[in-house]
Amino acid sequence: MRHRPLSLTLDLITRAHPTPVADDASALHLISDLDLAPGLDRMLRHRPTEDEGLWVFGYGSLIWQPEFAVAERRVGTVRGYHRRFCLLQRRFRGSRERPGLVLALDRGGICRGIVFRLRGSDPVETLMPVWRREMRGGGYAGRWVVVETAAGPVTALTFVVNRASDRYTGRLAEEEIADRIATGAGHLGPSAEYLFRTAQACADAGILDDHLWRLQHLVAERLEAAYRQQAELRVATR
């Protein structure tokens, strides 16, 4: 499915964030594999079914950067949660000085995303890479959810926001979300790039999310304004 062009572009993001950000490992405590393992074991013990393969539901960066071997992928819908920028990033896509925001699933509504069937025969070995990626920062909680797809429902692991985390922002207004995404940047790049790649990947898959679409437009406006201000300052100081 073709979609109209996004207002936000990689060129605009690069022009607004020309300077790389150094990593600050102290900005976010990362949980070790040793401490993560019991949680994954508990998730697998409470897995509702084991006869349809291991599935993971992605709604953000997992769509465009899954980092696991995929046997099958489908567009699917989860009910009872919605996609929202509600998780603060002080590292990776943000920093202490310029914290960003990333997506999580929060309570209520519905979410369309991509559900992946993973390759691998050992459940722990197969899931640990994605479990590590999503859980080591303490911002998410694992959940088994039913994902409705055109080929029938599947049960998948997904990651919802951990409301007890100090990274949980609650329900911010979209204007405030856009402000934080426009300024946030870490050593993996700006928050705006994360938004751009997610919005583009969703649209390419035929997932037209109004929240993402409004945000990418609001962030593009803010980056254009910031770039103009920088250009005017450079001219004024010559």
Summarised one tens digit per residue, pLDDT across range 33-91 is 999 999 999 999 999 976 678 999 999 999 999 988 999 999 999 999 999 999 999 99
Residue 140 lies in a domain: yes
What is the H or E stretch that residue 61 is in?
A: helix 61-64
Catalytic residue among 50, 134, 175, 193: 134
Residue 134 annotated as catalytic: yes
Q: Which two tokens stand for residue 190?
A: 């700006």
* CATH assignment of the domain containing 182: 3.10.490.10
Residue 1 lies in a domain: no
Rounded Cα distance, 60 and 159, in Å:
10
| CA 16 to each of CA 23, 125, 196: distance values in angstroms, whole numbers, following the listed order | 19, 40, 14
Summarised one tens digit per residue, pLDDT across range 206-217 is 998 999 999 999
Rounded Cα distance, 197 and 13, in Å:
12
Residue 2 lies in a domain: no
pTM over 0.85: yes
pLDDT at 1: 43
What is the H or E stretch that residue 141 is in?
A: strand 140-149
β-strands 55-58, 100-118 pairing: antiparallel
Residue 4 lies in a domain: no
Instruction: Determine the structural domain holding residue 190 and report its residue range.
Output: 10-236
Contact 111, 81 (CB under 8 A): yes
Residue 53 lies in a domain: yes
Residue 3 lies in a domain: no
- For the chain, the domain total comes to 1
Residue 194 lies in a domain: yes
Residue 5 lies in a domain: no
